[in-house]
Amino acid sequence: MQYISTRGGMQPLPYCETLLEGLAPDGGLAVPEVMPTVDGETLERWRALTYPQLAAEVLGLFATDIPRADLARMTAAAYTDFPEEVVPLREIDGGITLVGLSEGPTLAFKDMAMQFLGQVVEYALERKGSTLNILGATSGDTGSAAEHALRGKERISVFMLSPQGRMSAFQRAQMFSLDDENIHNIAVDGVFDDCQNLVKELAGDLDFKRTQHLGAVNSINLARITAQVVYYFWAWLRATDAGGWTELSFTVPSGNFGNILSGFYAKEMGLPIRRLVLAANENNVLDEFFRTGVYRPRSAEQTLATSSPSMDISKASNLERFIFELVDRDPARVTAAWRELDEQGFFDFTADLARFEDEFGIVSGTSTHADRLETIRAVHEASGEIIDPHTADGVKVAREYVESGVPMLVLETAKPQKFAETIREAIDVELEYSAELRAMLDAPQHVTEMADDAAALRAFIETHALH
């Protein structure tokens, strides 16, 4: 299996080399040269596997340059800090089932991919005899998941940008309480998209990228996308009966399009998915795109601070991988679309609007703060479950697309403890915290505040990077 760029300017590379690159040299994103496929017989064989075993099978289709024994060792190590089932499924009201993706060390779905990424990046660096300086941006959960997966690793340093004042107190504590020498938290005076733009600017400077050994763990990273594919297969296998070919639908709270893209890849591989339902918050650029065909990102000033902050994103980095498939894998049309975006602030695929649902099965909806509160209340009253605000966005939009005879699964985003203020507002419940979590919340915080300034960021990285 080789990987090419969405913009056509990268020679095919194997998995390990691709995941160390981040952005392709031409500014595009790595995609499989040919999408692997899975048949019904293989799916049935996978039913008896544990989650780490299934991960080795699915990832083995993408990472063909890694010996299967090494891959199995890495997936086993990646999911040791999870309960035995790793991803439990829990039914709530209205025919909806939650896919429990928040059982990892930072209580968010990002752990599912980041824990594997920490293993495979270290493996690739050891094989190459190299080091890597990870430059990333987070709107909340990516940063802590990455830092907890990569802390203390000798060949890796992490430079994580986050928007000042835009994360919950819990999210800040999870990141800023770490004091490992290879972890560098940088709070940028701006919003998430400003942080993401800084990452793209430095990653796009190929001389600086090579000199400083820069890589990425944001959702553009291939290892994250492929690792997330696994739990779509896992959830389908747990929600269907043996021997059947049941179609089901998934609803995915989405800001950067990475999580739902993994579901799209699973569907393209042959998993029987009827619909992929994208749930947006008030920053609903993606909902507008899938409803109208026009993609028009908003400025930093227009990006709202909401009670589902991990989705406060107006430029979805992973949308380019979907556009690549939409234009029948024509790199020239992808490049033209992004040129239009740079020149006029939007691009227009209204001519392809019917294909979004009819061919790709993608539909969408928006949830507001009032919707989140009402959904958290309704779910708690009906089932006793307490869901976080992002998952509430998912449940609210999922209800608009529930079909008789088609199971609807909602991907959980995080544990509610990460968003205690909103839970308190919704149901007037004070959430309990373990002694370990309380110690984290009370610990000293280590963070460097910085202006939205690429030159200042370059200087900081040059001073602290591994070589």
* Contact by Cβ (8 Å): 263, 33: no
Q: How many CB atoms lie within 10 A of CB 10?
A: 21
Tokens 């894998």 correspond to what residue? 329
CA distance 363 to 378: 24
* Contact by Cβ (8 Å): 5, 331: yes
At position 227, the amino acid (one-letter code) is: A
CA distance 118 to 14: 18
- Is 110 an active-site residue? yes
Pick the catalytic residue: 110, 200, 267, 415? 110
Q: How many CB atoms lie within 10 A of CB 34?
A: 8
At position 217, the amino acid (one-letter code) is: V
Judged by DSSP in three states, 121 sits in helix
Is the torsion defined by CA of 85, 91, 95, 99 positive or negative? negative
At position 191, the amino acid (one-letter code) is: V
Backbone angles phi, psi at 392, to 5 degrees: -65, -40
- Write out the two tokens for 26: 């031409």
Catalytic positions, written as ranges: 110
